[in-house]
Amino acid sequence: MKTTILEAAYLPDVAELERLCFVHPWSEAALAHLLKEPHFGVVAVEEGRALAYAGLSVALDEGEITNVATHPQHRRLGLARAVLTALLSEAKARGLCRITLEVRVSNTAARELYASLGFTPCGTRKGFYSAPREDALILEKTIN
């Protein structure tokens, strides 16, 4: 397995990950946003196929993680941790100072993952998610 910056060739794989992992998946066209500077994404690739990804939307010196997803048949193997570690190191190299994200309050797997990488809670957004309606927890990490 290797991690690499998201390129156009991986968009079909990433769109498939979105469909497998989310009720409101990002389309390939929406994901193409991550190919345009200053935004970027990271994928974990095995035998030419992207099995996990994370995206970062950038504004000035801050980044917001758009989504993180691992193929359901390849979970608990460290892929999400690997893509987020690579994303954080790339963000640091690009001079970003702070990374934020939103996560469903009930999403224990993602919350454990982010906590293990040093993200801490800094707020909530009431009723942010639909299907099912749920609050979002806002997490942040300072990197530079």
Ligand X SMILES: CC(C)(COP(=O)(O)OP(=O)(O)OC[C@H]1O[C@@H](n2cnc3c(N)ncnc32)[C@H](O)[C@@H]1OP(=O)(O)O)[C@@H](O)C(=O)NCCC(=O)NCCS
Contact footprint for ligand X (CB under 6 A): 21, 52, 67-70, 75-81, 103, 107-110, 112-113, 116
How far from chain centre, in Å, is Cα 62?
15
Q: 32 or 117: whose CB is closer to ligand X?
A: 117
Active site residues: 102, 114
Q: 37 or 133: whose CB is closer to ligand X?
A: 133
Q: Give, as one character, the DSSP assignment of residue 25.
A: P
Q: Are strands 62-70 and 98-104 parallel, antiparallel or unpaired?
A: parallel
For residue 132, say if its preceding peptide bond is cis, omega within 30 degrees of 0: yes
Q: How far is the CB of 62 from ligand X (least distance, A)?
A: 17
Q: 113 or 143: whose CB is closer to ligand X?
A: 113
Q: For 58, list phi and psi in degrees, rounded to 5.
A: -115, 135
Q: How far is the CB of 14 from ligand X (least distance, A)?
A: 12
